[in-house]
Amino acid sequence: MMFSVVDVETTGLSPNSGDRVLEIGIVRMDQSGTIREELDTLVNPGRPVRATKIHGITDEMVADAPSFREILPVLNEALNGTIIAAHNASFDLSFLRAEYQRAGTPMPSAKPLCTLVLARKYLAALPSRSLESCRRHLGISHDGAHNALADAKSAALVLHHFLTHHHHDTEALQPFRAEISKYGGPGLFDNIVELKSRSNHGARS
């Protein structure tokens, strides 16, 4: 069974208002908690970035980044046949669905799982179940908030905690029982399309 743990940074809060994806981080993790692959790229939204004070992404950083349409082969390979997980999955998946719709292609078939929903059940005593709060409570280190790959890694480790400690809860963790296609092996994202990591925003990575 393979999980694709996703986080996106965006120009705003609503894809219905024309906001776009600026950055995508995906961590592919197996059931044992081993991270198999990472995907990290900025995305040219085709519109002003805005919200730079939140995520630190500027218009200059995305000017020569690939468009969402250009990275579709990578995303399809990453997501298809996996369980897509995210913290507040409705937010991330609403943006992905909107981008796929804008590109005129269906989003890969995948079973979603929300670590925020799981946190509300299993970490109910916390005053906040934000990713930051869950991370701190579980002692998970972090490379920086509102960085798509760093947040995807944190969400993956939070997910692994639930998978490890609450696997007996077949109702809440029912998606874990799904039949999932086998992982394709190392090098999944190699040489498919040029991506542009935030850490190397001067050139494609």
- Predicted TM-score (pTM) of the model is 0.84
End-to-end CA distance of the chain: 29
Asked whether residue 203 is assigned to any structural domain, the reply reads no
- Residue 205: inside a domain: no
**Which amino acid, one-letter code, is at 168?**
H
Query: Which residue type occupies 46?
Result: G
Does residue 63 fall inside a structural domain? yes
Percentage of residues in the chain having pLDDT higher than 70: 81
Within 10 angstroms of residue 103's Cβ, the number of other Cβ atoms is 16
Domain total of the chain: 1
> What's the pLDDT score for residue 169?
67
CATH number at residue 101: 3.30.420.10
Give the relative orientation of helices 115-122 and 131-138 as an angle to the nearest 10 degrees. 60
The answer as to whether 204 is a domain residue is no
109 assigned to some structural domain: yes
Interatomic CA distance for residues 154 and 53, integer angstroms: 21
Could you read off the pLDDT of 2-17 as tens digits, one per residue? 899 999 999 999 999 9
- For residue range 19-78, list pLDDT tens digits in order: 999 999 999 999 888 999 999 999 999 999 988 999 999 999 999 999 999 999 999 999
Q: Is residue 202 part of a domain?
A: no
Residue holding tokens 């991330």? 92
Residue 20 lies in a domain: yes
Residue 183 has pLDDT above 50, yes or no: no
Domain residue limits at 29: 2-196
Which residue type, as a one-letter code, is found at position 96? L
